[in-house]
Structure 1
Amino acid sequence: MRQQLTRFTDAERRVAQALLADYPVAGLETVARFAKRAGTSGPTILRFVSRLGFQTYADFQNALHEEIHVRLQGPLTRYPSQGHPEKRDLTENVTQALADNISKVGKTFHQDDLQEITALLCDEARTVFFLGGRFSHILATYFHHYMRELHPRVRLVRDTSAAWADYLLDVKPGDVLVTFDFRRYQADVLEFAKAATAQGATIILITDVWYSPIASLAHKVVACPVEIPSAFDSGVAGLATVEIIVSAVVEELGTDAKERMTTLEGLRKSFRLGQ
């Protein structure tokens, strides 16, 4: 839906923005209430739903209910109930699913979005914060490790939420918060993003295809497929997203990044670090 915004009429775009601002709650309301929220008419709501590919408003709401069910699934829900496949088949199935997920990222990560994200991350006037959840903190840490070699003002929000207020204290207007949040989306990560937004931070969200609630706060959203033949979701597409963005940052910074990395290598050698 985000990718189709430019194809909607002005009235339909208001409907889409109202839905994204309180997703999926707005779409679960009656047509009249949804129209009032979006500042438009009932027929516009129905045209919008039709543009999304649904024959009726009831079909649209049924799809939202199904999506909520999928978004809330945990490992136990997805735990394989069938017998064990041959190891060779399992390896092939999983590796193919991983490859497909990476391929989908390459096809859906629009160049305009990548350029905007890159520009934000290359701006040394901004401090860039990295935040993840219980599992996705690994991706946030990985991204931070790369970026601290390229950018002088980056901070990793450590994974103990009791100390997160210490990081919020330093968030200033114009700073960037790169947030990783995948199903089953964490309330504490959402609250941090809300607080950072209130303090003027720009949110870049990396999430799954069902979208974290943080999407309504985000300036840019990158959706990563996560499903593989396993009880657990995969982080490989999220990792690929990080690699793509880092490559774009290196290219954009050019010689500035090279000089910083050269200085860093010299410091490591002088202290016999990282060898």
Structure 2
Amino acid sequence: MPAVRKVKNAAEKPAGHTRQEDDSNVQARLARALEDLTPRERRVGLYLRDHYPVAGLDPLPRFATSAGVSPQTVLRLVAKLGFAGYREFQDQLRAELLSEHASPLGRWVAHRPAEGGDWLGAFGAHLAANLADAFERVVRADFEAAAALLADKRSSVFAAGGRFTQPIARYLVRHLQIVRGKAEEIGSLTATWPDRLLDFDRRTVAVIYDIRRYQRDATRLAEAAAEQGATVILFTDSRSAPAARSARYVFVAPVEGAGAWDSSLALFGLTEALIARVTELEGGGTADRLGRLENLRSKLLGGP
């Protein structure tokens, strides 16, 4: 496990200091520690990762029972994550939840880059850390399974987002329409959603984007899609997002900006990675579709 450089005080932090260098985040600590855990400690660690942060907010006996280990094993994991005890561990999880639900004004006050330094460099470094963190969190097997589902032309793909994430859903759909066809954006007019849900079945893949403050309609869409037999793929900022309960695959990307507003960069990055992988899995089929598309553009538009 690589050593983590410690910063003695805030004044000594470089302009590009980011959350990845901050040991307070439980998920980051867990990701770094997993390879060095004993098998039983890893078992509880993986359970925490897959049910984050809800599992860690349970009383110790319940958390241990759910993970299939003893309370002593949970305490050993908590100690290896650097906490003095279970209470301190839970306090940190609660602090993270409060941060997730903070208002833009609160986040602006808490995370605005320091004046007098390289403001733009610090802002860019923060976004780069978000992107790196998102890719580090991805379970590779889940990513490959989701890409294979989206590459399967026998399935129909529907995508929906929220107030700020709908453009990412649209971006995904526009690419999939070229790569494989049978991909459709579900618009923001929720009154029309039942018309789409009517035809959802086991060959439907529903891709949903939902970040804090989580939208009830997105949660309901995920629930209804799963009840219809569809496979739900969720892009979000926390595994505790309400829609995660209905999703088979959950991809988490940090959205904290270095100012008042959340950042969608990491969500876009994961989406572009998925598009690229689906394109590779399609292979010659994509090349054929692109060729026919160029011919159609030439005929309709008189040029490329």
**TM-score relative to the length of structure 2:** 0.75
Matched AA of 2:180: H
Deviation string 1:165-217 (CA, Å, 9 cap, x unpaired) is 22221211142111211122212111111111122222222222565233333
TM-fit CA distance, 1:219: 2.4
Matched AA of 1:214: A
Q: Does 1:92 align with 2:100?
A: no
Are the aligned partners of 2:214 and 2:241 in contact in 1 as well (CA < 8 Å)?
A: yes
TM-fit CA distance, 1:159: 1.2
TM-fit CA distance, 1:62: 0.8
Q: Secondary structure at the match of 2:171?
A: helix
TM-fit CA distance, 1:245: 1.3
Q: Does 1:222 align with 2:272?
A: no
* Compared CA separation, residues 247 and 174, structure 1 to 2 (3 A): same
What is the rounded CA distance, in whole Å, between the counterparts of 2:265 and 2:302 in structure 1?
29
Q: What does 1:190-209 align with in structure 2 at a 5 Å threshold? A: 190-208=219-237
Are the aligned partners of 1:226 and 1:237 in contact in 2 as well (CA < 8 Å)?
A: yes
Which residue of the partner structure matches residue 122 of structure 1? Answer: 151
* Compared CA separation, residues 210 and 220, structure 1 to 2 (3 A): closer
TM-fit CA distance, 1:136: 0.7
- Structure 2 portions without partners, runs of 5+: 1-26
What is the rounded CA distance, in whole Å, between the counterparts of 2:302 and 2:221 in structure 1?
34
TM-fit CA distance, 1:139: 0.6
Which residue of the partner structure matches residue 288 of structure 2? Answer: 259
What is the rounded CA distance, in whole Å, between the counterparts of 2:210 and 2:198 in structure 1?
22
Q: Does 1:152 align with 2:181?
A: yes
Which residue of the partner structure matches residue 57 of structure 1? Answer: 86
**TM-score relative to the length of structure 1:** 0.82
What is the rounded CA distance, in whole Å, between the counterparts of 1:174 and 1:72 in structure 2?
35
Cα RMSD, aligned residues only: 3.3
- Structure 1 portions without partners, runs of 5+: none
Which residue of the partner structure matches residue 161 of structure 2? Answer: 132
What is the rounded CA distance, in whole Å, between the counterparts of 2:140 and 2:185 in structure 1?
26
Matched AA of 1:238: L
* Compared CA separation, residues 53 and 154, structure 1 to 2 (3 A): farther
Deviation string 1:218-272 (CA, Å, 9 cap, x unpaired) is 3222222222321001111111111111111111111101111222222233222
* Identical counterparts, % of pairs: 33
Matched AA of 2:211: F
What is the rounded CA distance, in whole Å, between the counterparts of 1:274 and 1:33 in structure 2?
65
TM-fit CA distance, 1:35: 4.8
